[in-house]
Structure 1
Amino acid sequence: MSHEIGVLSLYEGFFRGGARILHTDVLAGLHGRGQRHRVLSIHENVYREATFQRMRDDACYQRLVAAGIPVTALRGAGPADAGPESARFTDHELSLFQREATASRVVVTLKEQPLRLVNQAGWAGPVVTCLHRSDPENQGSALTELRAAVAAGRVTALICCADATKSAYRAAGFPDSLLHVIPNGVDLRRFRPDRFARARLRRAFAIPHEAPVVAFAARYDGMKNVPLFLAAAARFLAQRPTAHVLMCGTGMTRDNEKLLADLRVTGLEGSSRVHLLGPRDDPQALFAAADVVALTSTFGEAAPLCLIEGLLCGAIPVATDVGDCAAIVAGRGLLTAPDADAIAAAWCEALARRTEFTPALLAAREQFGRRRMLAAYAALIWRADGHSARRRPSRVLEPVG
């Protein structure tokens, strides 16, 4: 390789979520192919979604390290001080960031929250910020930090994972010249229909082969509207006596008192057909075992990774109309009103129309593969560094997926 550039990615922490999973996939796909990536996490450990999450236990951290990407933490936060709005950075912390950033050519921030570090350090840039939501006004001080970074000329590009994200940030006053849509993509080798994984997971939870299964993959967060999902699940399970519901993600365990309260309200607390699986590192097995992948969010979503991963594994997507869900679901599943009865009815309709949707799910593989996503990220990072197209290495992608 004739030339490589260093890229430093800034994270708030290694808490579970689709944005970190996607960013990890991007870094693993680009590292060593014209770019040398590093990750600096502001917090080593975080407490979110009623769960204490250690960086070194996290699947994204482990994958980055396995790919040869150095990962360090700025501060060893614990449950009491792991929130994104923690105190200002010390001189020592700012010095550590300056050292890491100076060793790179481009700084990439996962969402806008880490820009508080960039702004306090007075880092000149170039900075590329990845945006993964469609509600910029609903994220504490993050929007203020983003505006400050853009006004200071530090930010050279804003990567939007969805058209809905671009529209929302344009409406918030950011210029089109900064906003670039790069749709989410996933590894097709990993996310695919798999009858063996389907059989294994169903067997593990004593779910009959022919039983209808709805999967819900989300962290326990207000944006995900877990109470609405459970209200719909109660109606669905009452109508389908053999059906089961799988819930995975951070906070989806019986250790979460808020989730237990939601289950009690809907009468599902003791149900043997509601499976709380907590965080899992094999979402492809969950989706392969499901017939429907559900999303009940009512705000904030952009291009939910769970819908894309689920449909690529053969589960029919049924979602509320938020973010880019309509485009993801179009012809492959169903949109539904944010109403428990309507959602339960949509799950039943999706099951009845399974043979109709299956060809469209199979045809979606090329659209949602990650090849174009990786190429677009690579090109934008190179442009941020100021390199012309003729100096870019031609091989920036993995062979398949």
Structure 2
Amino acid sequence: MKVLHIITGLDVGGAEQQLRLLLRHCDVRSAVVTLTEPGPLAEAIRADGVPVTALRMSGNRDIGALPRLTALIRAGEYDVVHTHLYRACVYGRIAARLAGVRTIVATEHSLGASSIEGRPLSLGTRALYRATERLGHGTFAVSATVARRLAEWGVPARRIHLVPNGIEPGRFRFDAGARARTRDRLGIPQDAYVVGGVGRQVPGKRFDAVVRAVADNPGTHLLLAGDGIERVPLLRLVHSLGLQNRALVVDPTVHGVPDLLSAMDLFVTASEDEAFGLAALEALAAGLPVRYVTCPAVEDLPPEAAPGARQVAPDQLAAAVREEHLAGPRRLPPPQAVEHYHIARTAELVTARYLEAHHRGGLFRRRRTPVPAAVPRPAGPAAPAAQEAAAAPPAAAQQAPAPAAEDTPATPAQK
């Protein structure tokens, strides 16, 4: 089976890293197309043996990329096209439909309550999402929270399937030697209490709130790993608060996330609008106590699945840091949640969906009774019944052959 993954870009982000993991664990022939420049992950994926093609679109409205993408898909004779992130889903589903691909699916990585991929949702964004969603055959929601949001948008429940993100737990296992080496390399005292965070430095992640929480707790140190448009403002904030001697903002591609997590004592995520919470899950795998504002990966499971993680109100971050600092550093055994979200399990679910689609001639055929989901759902609320919404597709989408009536595959949704 040949699968083409289409993604907006290959910068270092959660969706991009998740794609690389999926490629390494799915037992199918794969290729990748990035709509923008190759990005830092392109070479890593190529080194894993997966070809990567960059379309180098000039922007969201570069319609000229559509015929090129369609031709590329048609020439590859792919059995499945799997899209990731908003722009890739819009262009990828239209192109795959024009190319006559048998099965078109999407993974919804970043649909928040009021934003998608860190950007505010607009009526236009939502309308285009729904219009192109109907050109595919199913959407993989990375959490039950995302599944509910898709249903609230009017995506039919029969086309929403829970396929959680996954991690390689062993990669993040605490390493005392790495802790000492990383602290020494970064100039962090070995006995310092280090509060940390990892992720794209964009406004929605609210790393500024973590900086302020550490500023309110003298004696604590801060270690943030990531990059993005908020990096320079964060550095300015560090200086304005006088934290130059106890706060660092570093590049995770240089130092490595596992080593950085080993160097931390407490992991804090301040985002108020998450789709999953991959960084928090990696921190749990490293044995760190985690304090979060929003984290569906944890919230969608029973409390005993991640006893080291605790939700805090946005205005209580400083108090949470203070409480943990007073308790002193501790390392916890990786909780049940870590194995629940093992990437091997995620890859099995995705591969099973591919094979089911291939043998049935389309992922989820339209029926009066929804097809039962074969994907096991974690304990917690399941995706609610969806309302069928009738959004008119944009001009480009109208040219694409629509799925047939009652017996034809339905559609996916994605960013």
Indicate the TM-score class for this superposition, using the shorter chain for normalisation: 0.7 to 0.9
Whether 1:129 and 2:110 are equivalent positions in the alignment is no
Q: In structure 2, what is the Cα distance between the partners aligned to 1:198 and 1:87?
A: 46
Q: In structure 1, what is the Cα distance between the partners aligned to 2:298 and 2:5?
A: 27
Runs (5+) with no aligned partner, structure 1: 46-54, 389-401
- Verify the 8 A CA contact 1:160 1:181 in the aligned structure 2: yes
| Aligned amino acid, residue 37 of structure 1 | S
Whether 1:19 and 2:12 are equivalent positions in the alignment is no
CA 1:90–1:366 in 2, change beyond 3 Å: closer, same or farther? Answer: closer
Matches within 5 A, 1:245-394: 245-251=222-228, 256-265=231-240, 267-268=241-242, 271-280=244-253, 282-299=256-273, 301-327=274-300, 330-339=306-315, 342-351=316-325, 358-359=332-333, 361-386=334-359
Q: In structure 1, what is the Cα distance between the partners aligned to 2:153 and 2:9?
A: 26
Residue in structure 1 matched with residue 145 of structure 2 by the alignment: 164
- For residues 133-156 of structure 1, give each alpha carbon's deviation from its aligned partner in whole angstroms, at most 9, with x where no partner exists: 2427634555333322333xx321
Paired residue for 2:2, among 6, 17, 33?
A: 6
**Which range moved further: 87-96 or 178-187?**
87-96
Aligned-pair distance for 1:97?
3.3
Q: In structure 2, what is the Cα distance between the partners aligned to 1:91 and 1:175?
A: 27
Aligned-pair distance for 1:204?
0.9
CA 1:136–1:322 in 2, change beyond 3 Å: closer, same or farther? Answer: same
Residue in structure 2 matched with residue 198 of structure 1 by the alignment: 179
The Cα RMSD (Å) is 2.6
Paired residue for 2:87, among 93, 113, 117?
A: 113
Q: Give the TM-score of the pair, scaled to structure 1.
A: 0.79
Paired residue for 2:115, among 138, 149, 159?
A: 138
Residue in structure 2 matched with residue 189 of structure 1 by the alignment: 170
CA 1:174–1:286 in 2, change beyond 3 Å: closer, same or farther? Answer: same
Q: In structure 2, what is the Cα distance between the partners aligned to 1:159 and 1:44?
A: 25
Whether 1:147 and 2:130 are equivalent positions in the alignment is yes
Whether 1:216 and 2:197 are equivalent positions in the alignment is yes
Residue in structure 2 matched with residue 397 of structure 1 by the alignment: none
- Verify the 8 A CA contact 2:277 2:295 in the aligned structure 1: no
Aligned-pair distance for 1:347?
2.2
Aligned-pair distance for 1:196?
1.1
Q: In structure 2, what is the Cα distance between the partners aligned to 1:178 and 1:39?
A: 24
- Verify the 8 A CA contact 1:134 1:323 in the aligned structure 2: no
CA 1:131–1:91 in 2, change beyond 3 Å: closer, same or farther? Answer: closer
Residue in structure 2 matched with residue 392 of structure 1 by the alignment: none
CA 1:110–1:320 in 2, change beyond 3 Å: closer, same or farther? Answer: same
Find the residue that maps to 1:373 and give its secondary structure.
helix
- Verify the 8 A CA contact 2:166 2:346 in the aligned structure 1: yes
Aligned-pair distance for 1:286?
0.7
Matches within 5 A, 1:14-163: 14-30=10-26, 33=27, 35-44=28-37, 55=39, 58=40, 60-75=41-56, 81=58, 83=59, 85-90=60-65, 93-100=68-75, 102-121=76-95, 122-123=97-98, 124-125=100-101, 126-135=103-112, 138-139=115-116, 142-151=125-134, 154-163=135-144
- For residues 24-73 of structure 1, give each alpha carbon's deviation from its aligned partner in whole angstroms, at most 9, with x where no partner exists: 1011111xx2x10000111125xxxxxxxxx2xx1x32332122111001
- Verify the 8 A CA contact 1:248 1:280 in the aligned structure 2: no
Find the residue that maps to 2:62 and give its secondary structure.
coil
Find the residue that maps to 1:190 and give its secondary structure.
helix
- Verify the 8 A CA contact 1:287 1:313 in the aligned structure 2: yes
Q: In structure 2, what is the Cα distance between the partners aligned to 1:233 and 1:147?
A: 42
- Verify the 8 A CA contact 2:94 2:132 in the aligned structure 1: no
Q: In structure 2, what is the Cα distance between the partners aligned to 1:347 and 1:325?
A: 19
Find the residue that maps to 1:244 and give its secondary structure.
strand
Aligned-pair distance for 1:193?
1.1
Q: Give the TM-score of the pair, scaled to structure 2.
A: 0.76
Q: In structure 1, what is the Cα distance between the partners aligned to 2:66 and 2:193?
A: 56
- For residues 120-170 of structure 1, give each alpha carbon's deviation from its aligned partner in whole angstroms, at most 9, with x where no partner exists: 43434421110112427634555333322333xx32121111111001111
CA 1:224–1:98 in 2, change beyond 3 Å: closer, same or farther? Answer: same
Aligned-pair distance for 1:305?
1.1
Aligned-pair distance for 1:364?
4.5
Aligned-pair distance for 1:377?
1.2
Structure possessing the higher relative contact order (Cα contacts under 8 Å, 6 or more residues apart): 2
- Verify the 8 A CA contact 2:298 2:337 in the aligned structure 1: no
- Verify the 8 A CA contact 2:278 2:297 in the aligned structure 1: no
Q: In structure 2, what is the Cα distance between the partners aligned to 1:308 and 1:135?
A: 18
Aligned-pair distance for 1:370?
2.0
Q: In structure 2, what is the Cα distance between the partners aligned to 1:168 and 1:92?
A: 32
- Verify the 8 A CA contact 2:178 2:263 in the aligned structure 1: yes
